[in-house]
Amino acid sequence: MSARRLRRELDGAARRAELPASRPDFLEQCLCRPPLSFDFGSTTPARSASNSPRRRGTLLLEDGTRFDGVGFGASTTSIGEVVFTTGMVGYPESLTDPSFRGQILTFTYPLLGNYGVPPTTARDEWGLPRFLESSEVQVRGLVVRGLTSPSHWQSRHPLERWLQDSGVPGIAGVDTRRLTEHLRAEGVVRGALHVGATPASDDALLDRIRRAPEYAEEDYMAAVSVRHPVAYGDASAPLVAVIDCGVKASILRALLNRKLGVLRLPHDAPVPDRWEGRRVRGLVVGNGPGDPERLTVTVSEVGRAVDARLPVLGICLGNQLLALSRGGRTFKLKYGHRGQNKTVCFPNGRSLIMSENHGYAVDPASLRGTGLVPWATNPDDGTLEGLRDRPGRVLALQGHPEGHPGPQEAGFVFDQFASRVTRRGA
């Protein structure tokens, strides 16, 4: 064990000692389980699924910092990278965003579950999840300050039951601001989230963390990517390929809504020139979890498409893969950008508010000589928020122009991409 690691553990132990002992009664408040009847007619959100006795929740960070709270969701222990998002709405979308695969997600907003969970099996006209970003909960765990009883016309379940059904643990009653400040200062770390009848010991949890793979070393693609190509939309619409490294449903929908046909490809599949007789006229590389440098097959496929002068749109991970495909480099941010209030500045003086969820970024210096140029930047830390080639055939944003959750002003990139694809086809 390194000296630094040891010091952190000791710090963590010291911090633990300051905390009050477990406070079961008050923590119960975080779960707000009312004895009152709660009947909303047809849209009844069922009361909390679990009638089992109250469970303990423990979040232990790799550096030894411990948070105790009330457990909810599944009774299990899961290991993941602990990250935080500052978004105030959109938890069903966030929890099902495949980019959060491998992570334990903390919400800085102190009340979660207010509007319950919408119908999880509902599909839109293209067969995509209607209200969610993928078919399942993607996070490894959920950390909140307070959990509330839901009220919303679209709600079908309380949040805690959904997590339970999804086999994902959650912890409430955590001082998420203290956790956030810790992550901000120390950088994101792995952690263990344990939910059970009894609290878990530090040693046991640290041991579990040590035996688990590092975040960057894990392979997520098998879990988040489609196995076979799937086509969506009108068969006569201009067809674009989407490399699925865990692409959000809203990205596909944003394309379909702009009268494009979508060919969703497995992350390691070649981008075909034609599909069932239709020419593939553009490529979209979407979001996804993990270290972009691990996705070497995808990177080379993206590079091939760029070489083929195909219009390419990169979003989030796609932005990073595009840079890598031309010889750029990526690096890991200390604690990432996760929230719906991120500022993105363009060279013409315009700024947009964007939804973001990324832990890696493109090194702008590495773009020299790649044929790509910085297009958008984050004014707060100077990180690269978008890139393009000079003709504008290649466009990429680090944030999420499709929103869900969050602002959609940057949706104009879909329009630009669609018009370029359509123009070439005409």
Partner 1 sequence: MRPPRYEKIVVLGSGALKIGEAGEFDYSGSQCLRALEEEGVYAVVVNPNIATLQTDPPKHGRVYLQPVRPEFVEPILEAERPDGMMLSFGGQTALDCGIRLADRGAYRRSGVKVLGTPLQGIRDTEDRALFVQAMGRARVPVLPSRAVYSVDDALAAAEVLGTPVMIRVAYTLGGKGGGVARDRAGVREIAERGLRLSPVGQILLERYVGDFKQIEYEIVRDRKGNTLTVCNMENVLAMRVHTGDNIVIAPSQTLNDSEYQLLRQAALRAATEVGIVGECNIQFALDPRSEEYYAIEINARLSRSSALASKATGYPLAYVAAKLALGYTLPELKNRVTGVTTACFEPALDYVVVKLPRWDLDKFERADRRLGPSMKSVGEVMGIGASFPEAIQKAVRMSDPTGDLVPPEAPRPLAEVEPELKHAGPEILFRVLEALETGASVDHIAKLSAIDPWFVEQLSGIVRESRALRRRAGHPLPASRLQSAKELGFSDRAIGRITHHSEAAVRSRRLHLGVRPHVRMIDTLAGEWPARTNYLYLTYRADADDVRPSPKGSALVLGAGPYRIGSSVEFDWSTTNLVAGLKAAGIPSVTILNSNPETVSTDYDRSDRLYFEEITLERVQDLFDLERFRGVVTCVGSQLAQNLTPGLKRTGVPVLGTTPEAIETAEDRSQFARLLERLGIPQPAWKAFTTLEEASAFADEVGYPVLVRPSFVLSGQAMRVIWGRPDLGRFLELALRISREHPVVVTKFVQGADELELDAISDGEKILVAGVLEHVERAGVHSGDAIFSIPPRRTAVAVQEELVRAAEQIAQALRIRGPFNIQYLVKDGQFQIIELNLRASRSLPFLSKFTGLPLIEEAARALLGEPLSRSGWNPPPPDRWGVKVPQFSFLQLVGADPLLGVEMQSTGEVACFGSSFPDALMRGLFAAGWSAPRAAGRAFVSVGGPALKAEMLPIVERLVSLGFGLAATEDTALYLSQAGFSDVTVLYKVSEPDRHPNILEALADQGVSIVLNVPLSLSQEKLEQMLEDEYVLRRRAIELGIPLFTSLEVFQAYVEGLAWMKDHALTVEPTYGPRGSARTSGPAVTLGVRLPLTTPPASR
Nearest to 245 by CA among 164, 138, 91, 142: 138
Among positions 144-173, residues that touch partner 1 (CB under 8 A) are 145-146, 148-154
Residue 38 C-beta: closest distance to partner 1, Å = 6
Question: Does residue number 257 form part of the binding site for partner 1 (CB under 8 A)?
Answer: no
Residue 105 C-beta: closest distance to partner 1, Å = 14
Residues 6+ apart with CB under 8 A from 425: 238, 279, 281
Residues 6+ apart with CB under 8 A from 82: 59, 61, 103, 104, 106, 143, 179, 183, 188, 189, 190, 191
Residue type, 98: P
Tell me the helices (H) and strands (E) count for the chain, helix number first: 11, 20
Question: Does residue number 26 form part of the binding site for partner 1 (CB under 8 A)?
Answer: yes
Q: Which is nearer to partner 1, 70 or 324 (CB)?
A: 70
CB of 397 within 8 A of CB of 413?
Answer: yes
Which member of 96, 225, 340, 398 binds partner 1 (CB under 8 A)? 340
The 175-194 site mask, x for binding partner 1 (CB under 8 A), equals xxxx-xx--x----------
Which member of 49, 209, 231, 345 binds partner 1 (CB under 8 A)? 345
Residue 158 C-beta: closest distance to partner 1, Å = 12
Question: Does residue number 37 form part of the binding site for partner 1 (CB under 8 A)?
Answer: yes
CB of 75 within 8 A of CB of 55?
Answer: yes
CB of 205 within 8 A of CB of 192?
Answer: yes
Which member of 6, 19, 235, 365 binds partner 1 (CB under 8 A)? 19
Active centre residues (catalytic):
316, 400, 402
Q: Look up residue 48 and give its two tokens.
A: 């909390």
Cα distances (Å, whole numbers) of residue 75 to 52, 55, 100, 309: 11, 8, 20, 51
Residues 6+ apart with CB under 8 A from 419: none
Q: Which range touches partner 1 (CB under 8 A), out of 70-78, 194-202, 357-365, 406-414?
A: 406-414
Q: Which is nearer to partner 1, 99 or 225 (CB)?
A: 99
What is the contact surface with partner 1 in residues (CB under 8 A)?
A: 19-20, 23-26, 28-29, 32, 34-40, 84, 86-90, 92-93, 108-111, 114-115, 118, 131, 145-146, 148-154, 175-178, 180-181, 184, 339-343, 345, 349-353, 379-380, 403-409
